[in-house]
């Protein structure tokens, strides 16, 4: 198991238990290895969990974790390019994106939020987890170093401004209803349509 998943999966699950709907489908965007998907689907059997990713290696990892888990509420992963104008899914009751906003281009974040605005029903939730700047500054020296490392790896990546993300969300009919401090200087953001 990846160290970050081991560290953040239970704190994230505590929040998801409280904010996700009692029934329905959760679309997980950028599911990565699939470890979160398995953990959350196992802990939330009343929900259908739909993992996705853009990367073929990630999709293979998700599929392998899904097969090993044998969870009936964990669906097969599919390719999702959030920046595409149309997504290969037409409904989700909630959308979850963990560590995607900073490890992707701003265009991908725009696509994620635009898609959530189109797809979510009234009251539907977009959950974002990751590091954010607030009021134009990093919230910790470790987040600043993390941002520099991300930008060295790919100039389009980086820790985003919370204000930029919430302004973008507002433009697509989503309001920030909760900002929750998390381990390792991360935040959970709950946005509702």
| Residue carrying structure tokens 């997504």 | 87
Strand 132-133 and strand 125-130: the pairing is unpaired
Residues 16 and 44 sit within 8 Å (Cβ to Cβ): yes
pLDDT given at position 7: 73
Residues 132 and 139 sit within 8 Å (Cβ to Cβ): yes
Angular region, 34: left φ>0, alpha ψ -120 to 50, beta rest: left
Q: Provide the 10 A C-beta neighbour count for residue 93.
A: 20
Run means of pLDDT, 10 residues per run, the chain, 193 residues: 74 97 97 96 98 97 98 98 92 96 96 96 97 94 94 96 98 98 95 97
pLDDT given at position 74: 98
Which structural domains are found in the chain, ordered by start?
Answer: 3-192 (3.40.50.150)
Question: Could you tell me which of 97, 136, 130 has the C-alpha nearest to residue 114?
Answer: 97
Please, which contacts does 145-149 make with residues 24 or more away whose CB atoms are closer than 8 Å? Answer: 146/102, 147/102
Whole-prediction pTM: 0.96
Task: Round to whole Å and give the CA distance between 190 and 181.
Answer: 12
Strand 24-29 and strand 94-98: the pairing is parallel
pLDDT given at position 3: 66
Query: CA angle, 25 as apex, 81 and 86 as ends, to 5°?
Result: 30
């Amino acid at each position: 198991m990846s160290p970050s998943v081991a560290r953040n999966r239970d704190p994230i699950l505590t929040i998801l238990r409280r904010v996700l709907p009692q029934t329905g489908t959760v679309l997980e965007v950028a599911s990565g290895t699939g470890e979160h998907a398995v953990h959350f689907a196992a802990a939330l059997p009343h929900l259908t969990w739909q993992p996705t990713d853009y990367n073929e290696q990630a999709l293979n990892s998700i599929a392998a974790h899904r097969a090993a888990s044998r969870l009936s509420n964990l669906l097969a992963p599919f390719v999702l390019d959030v920046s595409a104008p149309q997504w290969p899914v037409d409904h989700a009751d909630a959308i979850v994106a963990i560590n995607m906003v900073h490890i992707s281009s701003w265009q991908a974040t725009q696509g994620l939020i635009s898609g959530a605005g189109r797809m979510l029903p009234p009251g539907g939730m977009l959950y974002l987890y990751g590091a954010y700047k607030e009021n134009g500054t990093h919230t910790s020296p470790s987040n600043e170093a993390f941002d520099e490392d991300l930008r060295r790896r790919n100039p389009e990546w980086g820790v985003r401004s919370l204000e930029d993300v919430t302004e973008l969300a507002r433009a697509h009919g989503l309001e920030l209803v909760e900002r929750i401090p998390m381990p390792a200087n991360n935040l959970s953001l709950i946005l509702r349509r």
